[in-house]
Chains A and B, each alone.
Chain A
Amino acid sequence: DVKVTQSSRYLVKRTGEKVFLECVQDMDHENMFWYRQDPGLGLRLIYFSYDVKMKEKGDIPEGYSVSREKKERFSLILESASTNQTSMYLCASRGAGTFGGYTFGSGTRLTVV
């Protein structure tokens, strides 16, 4: 089975801290994605990557950056965490081709205090 592993299930950080969320997939997928999920707002795309060192802004990139130095790893960086970034963060990967489904990690519940 394809596995997408997110490094932390729960994180608590202070306002202003730089936060790193790590995601690793083991199926050699080209495409990787970071979403945040909030009640009433659904899943919103933050950033995605089609290949190593490639990145594209999603719908809500402000306050975030990403890094993809290796194909299997896609990191989400909160440059200076704020309380409105408290959320569930979900990483996903997908192989090439139009109809493949996403494989999601279990999520990281981030609380910024």
Chain B
Amino acid sequence: TQLLEQSPQFLSIQEGENLTVYCNSSSVFSSLQWYRQEPGEGPVLLVTVVTGGEVKKLKRLTFQFGDARKDSSLHITAAQPGDTGLYLCAGVETSGSRLTFGEGTQLTVNP
């Protein structure tokens, strides 16, 4: 099983601040996905990045896939309390369709 390390594990910031979450591996993934999970619910897919170097934007969220397809980052601009949640990165293994999840980043945005 390929491993994904996510950092930081916890992040507490004030409304309006910017933040970046990192997802790193020594393995190559065919694609990488980011999910957001709210308490008591299952994770919800935010984005899939496929090509090395790819950048995708979703309103104030910017996702980047590393050139070597081993790492990814999520940048949030001007965070809002509604961004609070658990952010999970997940890599699609090159050998098949199963996902490997990072441990998650618990983000709290204080008003």
Contact = CB atoms under 8 A, between A and B. Distances in A.
A and B physically associate: yes
Interface of A: 4, 9, 31, 33, 35, 40-43, 45, 48, 50, 58-59, 90, 92, 94, 98-107
B97 A94 contact: yes
B31 A98 contact: yes
Contacts of A45: 98-99
B88 A99 contact: no
Given A58-B98, A104-B43, A106-B42, 17 more contacts: A9-B40, A42-B103, A43-B101, A45-B99, A92-B42, A94-B97, A98-B30, A98-B31, A99-B31, A99-B48, A99-B50, A101-B48, A102-B43, A103-B45, A105-B42, A106-B40, A106-B41
B98 A33 contact: yes
Contact of A42 (B33, B44, B97, B102): B102
